[in-house]
Structure 1
C-alpha cells in the first residue's frame, strides 16, 4: 500500500520541481525585459572631478511591475577606465523602504562618489541591472548600459598654497621670554575645558616644576555679546583656584607661588587690536572702530555692533577669541654655547645621550643648526619627550609635512601626514593661534581630510592674527570650498583673501563654475596682470571662450597657454570642454604653436 502511494506521487513531485524552476526563470526573465523601460538620470553629465573625489547624483525610475514579492531588482553602478579597469561605485536596491513612488513608479535618488585619479579622465560610467530570486539566490542580468562618458576636470584648475613654516627660533633673541598660555571659553561659561584649545596639560607641567618661586599673572576678558557682569572675573578665579589646588596636591618642593589676577568686562582695546589683524574691509573697520571708541556704555556699544555690516564676521571670527583668560609665567634659564648645544644635540639625535641633557628651547635652537630633515625630526622628538611644549610639537609636525611632500609613495605619505596632524594637534592644544591652526588645517587639507580642514581653517580665523596669515587662511579655505563644490562660500572667503594671484585665479574659477562668465573673465585677466603670461590663467580664459562660444578668445588664450607650458597641449586634446572645437583648424592651429 505504502509502496503504491510512493510510485503514484513521484511524477507529481518532479512536475512541481520543474514548475518551480520554470516559474522562477520566467519571472526573472520578465523582470529583465521590464527593466528595459527604466529611466536613468546622472547629474552632472559628463561627470565632474572635485578635489580628490568625483561626486554625482543618480536617479533611477523603474516600472512598478518589476517590484515583486520574493524577488529583488538592483542596479550596480561602476566606472571603467584604462585597460578595462572596473571600479565598483555602489548600487541601488529596489526593495520596500529603499524607494519611493513617483507618479506610480518606484524611484531612487542617491549620491555617489569615487576617488579621482588622472587615469580616470577618459573613463565611462555604467549601470547593470540584476533580477534576484531571494528564495534560492538565482540571478538574471540585464545588459550593461553606458550612462556617462569622461570627466570634466575644470574644478581642479585652482591654486592652493598650504605652505607652513617652522616656528622662528627665539632662543638667542630673548632667553627670558615668559611662557604664555591662553585658555578659551564657551559663551557665558567659566568652566575650564579639557578638549580642543585647552592648555590644562601644559599648565600641569608648570605646577610640577621644581623651582624656588613662581610668579603667575592671569588676565581674563569676555566678548561684547556676553552680558553677565562678572564672567571675566570668574574665569580668572577659576584658573587661580585650579592652580592653587593642584599645587597643594602635587607640589612637594615647597616653592613660593604668587598669583595675580586682572579682568575686564569687555576689553575694548583688545577688540580694537583684533580688528587691526582681521580681514574686514576698511569701511567696515572704520564703522566698528567709531562705535568702540565712542562714549556710549558697554551695553550700548554691544547693541550698536550687532547692527553693523561686520557683525557676522565679529561673531564668527573675533568674539570667540575674546572669551579668554591668559596665564603668564616667567622663568630664567642658563645658556649654553652654540658649539656645546650642537654637540649635545647630535648625541641626542644619535641616541648617545639622554634627551633631557638639553631643555626644549635648547633643542629647538639646536635643530635650527642642522639642514637634515631626519636629524631635525630626532631633535624635535627629543624636545617633545623632554618638555611637552607647543613649539616642539609644532615643528615636529612641520617636519613630517615636509617629509610627506618629498615621499611619492601614497601609503607612506599618508602615514607621515597622519603623524604631522597628531603633533600639530597637540601644538594647537598648547598654543591655539591662527598660525598653528592654519598649519593644522593645511596638513588635513593636503591629506584629503576636507571636513577637518574646514574646521581648523575656521579656528584659525576666529583666533585672529596678522593680515598675512588671515589672507592665507581665507585663500586656502576658499580653495577647499571650491573642491567640495561650495562656490558661494568660496567667493565669500576670497573677499577677505587679498588681491593675490591665488585669490584671482580661484575667484575666476568660482565664477566660471557658477556660469558667470563675465565675472570669471574679469578675475582671470586680473590674475594675468599679477602674473603675466601665466599658462593656467590663459587656459582658463580659453575655457571661458569655449563655454561662451567665443572662438577667437578660445584660440588666442589656448595658444598662449601651450606656449607658456607645453603640458597644457595634451590636457586640451583630452579636455571634454573643447569637444565641440576638436578637429577645427583654429583649435588645431592653437595647439601646434
Structure 2
C-alpha cells in the first residue's frame, strides 16, 4: 500500500505540469489562430456624428478556434494623438453572443464613444484575449492591431438652429382676451382623453377658479377625411358634458357659468388655410388650391386630393391638427406696477408672501424683470409651484436651456438639459402646439437624445403652425437626420424648410455625403448667394474639390474659407478629407496664404 502511495505522490506533480503545459499550449494555439480573424469596420475612416462617434464592427474567427473551458474576447480601443487611450467596448465570444456564418463564429456589434475635437486624429485598435475559464488568471494576448483611422468630421458640418425664446409678454394693463385650450381627438373619435397632448388637467383648474362668473365658448371641428358629418358637434358636446360634470364635483363658489357651443361647418376653406400656411412647396400648394377651388363634388375632390403629391404631407401633418375642439374662457385682470410685481414675486419665491397675491400672468411677467438666470429660475419655479400652468413650465425649461448653454462642464450641461426637458414636457402636456414641441425637440437634440428629438419634431409638425415655424422645425429635423445618417430623409425634410441659408447648406452636405458632388456644389453656391463669403460654405466646397481631385476648386475655396475664419486653417491641416494633399503644394498654398 505504501508503495502505491509513493508512486501516486510522484505522479501528481507530473500530471499538474502536463495540465499546465496543455493549458498553455491551448491558449497559445488560440492566439496563433486569432491572426486569421477577420475584422471589418464601417465606416472607415470613423466619422463623428453629433455628440458621438458611432460605427459597426464585425469580427469573424477561424473555424474551431473556440474551445470548451476557454473563452475569447476582443477589446476595442481608440487612441487619439496626444490623448489617453479610450476603451470603447468588447466583443465577447461567449455562448449566445455570436452566430455562425459559413461555419465561422461571428459577432456584429454597434459601438460608439463620445466625440470631442481633441479626438479628430487617432486610430481604432483591437486586442484579442484568450482566457482559461477555470483559472481566469491564465490568459494570453494577441498583438494589438489597427483596424480603422479617425475621424472624418464632415458629417458635423451641418447647420443647426435649435433656438427658442421665452414666451412673448402678454401681460397688459387692459382686460385680457379669452384663454384658449385646444383638445385633439383621434381619427373618427370624440371621446376626451387625458394622455399626451391633452389639456384636461388645465381645464380642471379653470373649473375650480374662485370667480363670480365664466363665459365659455366650445367650438368643435373635424378633418375632411373623417367619417360622418356630426363629429365636430359631438366633440363640442363631449367637452361641454365634461365641464358640467366636473363643475358639480369641483366647484364650491357657485359661480355663474355660461357655456355656448358651435361647430366649424364642413368646407374646404379650413384645409386651404392650413395648406397655405404649411411647409409644402409652392407648386404643391397651387395644385391643391386649384383642385379644391375647382368644380366637382366633395367626394370627387377628396379622391383627387389623394392622388396629389401633397397628400402624404396633408394626411400626416395637417389632418391630425383639424380633429379638435377649442375651449375659450373669458377673464378680466388688472395690472400692478413693475416694482410691486417684482417684490411680490420675490416674496412668493421665498415663501414669505402668499401665492394668491399675484395671478399667473403677473408672476410670469415679474420673472422677465430680472436679467439674472438664477433669480429668473427661482421666479419661474415659483410660478410652476403656484399656478401649474404651461407658460411657467415652458419658460422654466427655457431658463434651464440657457443655463446649459453657458455651462462648460459636460455632466452639468446634461443635467441642466434634463431639467429643461422635464419642464418642457409638462408644458407640452398642457399646451400641445408646434412652438412648445419644437422647443422640446430642440432640448432633446441639444442633449443628444436623437430618437426622442425626432419624435417631437414630427409631433410639432403634425400640430401645425406658421410657415416660418414649420420651416424652422423641418430645418432642424433635417440636421438631425443628417447626424444619424438618414440623408434621403434629410433631403425630403428640406423640401419643406424654405429657401434659407440653413436649408441650402444642409442640402449641400446631404448630397456631399451621398457623393453627389454636382448637387452639393449647386446648393453650396446657393447658400453663398444668401450669405456671401461664408467660411463654412467655402470650406465645404473645398472638401468637394478634394474628393473630386480638383485642386483648383479645393485651393480657391479653402483659401477663401481661411480668409474669413482663421480657425479653418488648423482644421484643414488635420482634416482627413485633405489627407491625400498633405505636404503637397496645393494644400500648403491654400493654408499659408
Task: Please give the TM-score of this superposition, normalised by the length of structure 2.
Answer: 0.95
Distance 2:79 2:139 in 1: 23
Distance 1:277 1:448 in 2: 30
- Local SS of the residue matching 1:562: helix
Aligned pairs for 1:187-266 (under 5 A) are: 187-264=187-264, 266=266
Distance 1:212 1:351 in 2: 28
Q: CA deviation at 1:381?
A: 2.0
Which residue pairs with 1:316 in the alignment?
A: 316
Q: CA deviation at 1:339?
A: 4.2
- Runs in 1 of length 4+ with deviation above 4 angstroms? 264-267, 294-297, 349-352
Distance 1:35 1:369 in 2: 68
Larger deviation: 303-312 or 95-104?
Answer: 95-104
Distance 2:237 2:91 in 1: 59
Which residue pairs with 1:129 in the alignment?
A: 128
- Local SS of the residue matching 2:235: helix
TM-superposition CA deviations, 1:323-368 (whole Å, max 9, x none): 1111111111233234433443344456553333111111222233
TM-superposition CA deviations, 1:222-264 (whole Å, max 9, x none): 2222224443333222222222221111222222323222335
TM-superposition CA deviations, 1:361-386 (whole Å, max 9, x none): 11222233333323322222222222
Counterpart check, 1:469 vs 2:435: no
Aligned pairs for 1:414-493 (under 5 A) are: 414-493=414-493
- Local SS of the residue matching 2:130: strand
Q: CA deviation at 1:108?
A: 2.3
Distance 2:72 2:376 in 1: 59
Q: CA deviation at 1:149?
A: 1.9
Distance 1:310 1:441 in 2: 25
Structure 2 gap segments, 5+ residues each: none
Larger deviation: 543-552 or 316-325?
Answer: 316-325
Which residue pairs with 2:302 in the alignment?
A: 302
TM-superposition CA deviations, 1:510-535 (whole Å, max 9, x none): 11000000111111111111111111
Which residue pairs with 2:363 in the alignment?
A: 363
Aligned length: 592
TM-superposition CA deviations, 1:23-43 (whole Å, max 9, x none): 111111101101111111111
Distance 1:574 1:76 in 2: 27
Q: CA deviation at 1:442?
A: 1.0
**8 Å Cα contact 2:173/2:334 also seen in 1:** no
Which residue pairs with 1:66 in the alignment?
A: 65
Q: CA deviation at 1:295?
A: 5.6
Which residue pairs with 1:75 in the alignment?
A: 74
Which residue pairs with 2:333 in the alignment?
A: 333
**8 Å Cα contact 1:160/1:479 also seen in 2:** yes
- Local SS of the residue matching 1:57: strand
- Local SS of the residue matching 2:85: strand
Q: Cα gap change, 1:229/1:8 in structure 2, threshold over 3 Å: closer, same or farther?
A: farther
Which residue pairs with 1:523 in the alignment?
A: 523
Larger deviation: 505-514 or 291-300?
Answer: 291-300
Which residue pairs with 1:541 in the alignment?
A: 541
Larger deviation: 94-103 or 314-323?
Answer: 94-103
**8 Å Cα contact 2:173/2:335 also seen in 1:** no
Distance 1:78 1:319 in 2: 50
Q: CA deviation at 1:48?
A: 0.7
Which residue pairs with 2:32 in the alignment?
A: 33
**8 Å Cα contact 2:321/2:462 also seen in 1:** yes
**8 Å Cα contact 1:359/1:383 also seen in 2:** no
Distance 2:582 2:536 in 1: 20
Which residue pairs with 1:552 in the alignment?
A: 552
**8 Å Cα contact 2:174/2:334 also seen in 1:** no
Distance 1:394 1:561 in 2: 39
Distance 1:559 1:83 in 2: 28
**8 Å Cα contact 1:460/1:473 also seen in 2:** yes
Structure 1 gap segments, 5+ residues each: none
- Local SS of the residue matching 2:253: coil
Distance 1:342 1:249 in 2: 36
Task: Please give the TM-score of this superposition, normalised by the length of structure 1.
Answer: 0.95
Which residue pairs with 1:108 in the alignment?
A: 107
Distance 2:38 2:31 in 1: 14
**8 Å Cα contact 1:266/1:298 also seen in 2:** no
- Local SS of the residue matching 1:432: coil
- Local SS of the residue matching 1:254: coil
Which residue pairs with 2:16 in the alignment?
A: 17
Q: Cα gap change, 1:265/1:37 in structure 2, threshold over 3 Å: closer, same or farther?
A: farther
Distance 2:300 2:257 in 1: 40
Counterpart check, 1:119 vs 2:118: yes
Which residue pairs with 1:43 in the alignment?
A: 42
TM-superposition CA deviations, 1:187-208 (whole Å, max 9, x none): 2233322222111110110111
Which residue pairs with 1:165 in the alignment?
A: 165
Distance 1:443 1:281 in 2: 28
